Amino acid sequence: LGHTIHFFEEVDSTQRIAAKLAYEGAPEGTLVVAEEQKAGRGRLDRKWFSPKGTGIWMSLILRPPIPPQRAPQLTLLVAVAISQAIQEVTGLVPDIKWPNDILLHGKKGVGILTELQADPDRVHSVIVGIGINVNQTAEQFPEDIRAIATSLAIEKGERIKRAPLIQEILLRIERLYKQYLAHGFRSIKLLWEGYAVSIGKPVTARTLGGTIRGIARGITEDGLLILEDEEQNTHYIHSADIQL
């Protein structure tokens, strides 16, 4: 992965560029990296703050031979790979909040956005967008997210070099992705659960269909969150915002 890297000083969103390249047939492993994004996108139609030079803003093209309903597994796989890489490079031990927020001491330091180009039965490409707050100071975050956002440098107490971290992330994604293609999701799921903070705890899930309160029981083989509500009904959550 990452044999072909498209590097930009400034883009609207690496996600948009990678999607266009994927559509035009770019091979698996193609990576788009930018110093700065003017219109970085987050999950659930949010903006992703992507200032110049302080973070890792990149999008990776994968072409897994899987049906679209298994794509959430890849998001979880990438969250594990990034957590491993952060741990390896910085010594910090991240937590994962389902599906793919990576927390450092309870604050969000990493976001992952996966988007698909697919037919009903087959994925053509998965665009994995990765945003990592690396060297921002607290004051550099917009006021409205300062209380909930953090960077690796804030948590580590020193600046972190971005290039070795990118390299480690690609290596880890590649390793887990090979394991996933050869043996399926099971072993990845175990690794994910090792980093997960929400499992076994009361959470509130805000979905498009409404809010569900309950205990997070784990994830399914497809990567859905299993939530048991107060009446012991089991819900399988595909997409939601989780509050601990």
37 part of the interface to ligand BTN, by CB under 6 A: yes
Looking at 1, 15, 99, 133, which residue binds ligand BTN (CB under 6 A)?
15
Which region among 9-17, 80-88, 117-125, 218-226 touches ligand BTN (by CB under 6 A)? 9-17
Nearer to ligand BTN, 233 or 243 (CB): 243
Looking at 42, 51, 68, 218, which residue binds ligand BTN (CB under 6 A)?
42
76 part of the interface to ligand BTN, by CB under 6 A: no
Contacts of 180 (CB under 8 A, 6+ apart): 64, 73, 74, 77, 188
Rounded to a whole number of angstroms, the CA Rg of the chain reads 17
What torsion do the CA atoms of 157, 7, 84, 78 make, to the nearest 10 degrees?
130
Nearer to ligand BTN, 115 or 155 (CB): 115
Largest CA distance in the chain: 53
Sign of CA pseudo-dihedral 115, 18, 65, 184: negative
Which region among 127-135, 147-155, 173-181, 207-215 touches ligand BTN (by CB under 6 A)? 127-135
Looking at 59, 84, 135, 150, which residue binds ligand BTN (CB under 6 A)?
59
- Residue number of the CB closest to ligand BTN reads 111
End-to-end CA distance of the chain: give it in Å, rounded: 34
Residues in the chain: 244
3-state secondary structure at position 84: helix
Which region among 66-74, 111-119, 149-157, 190-198 touches ligand BTN (by CB under 6 A)? 111-119
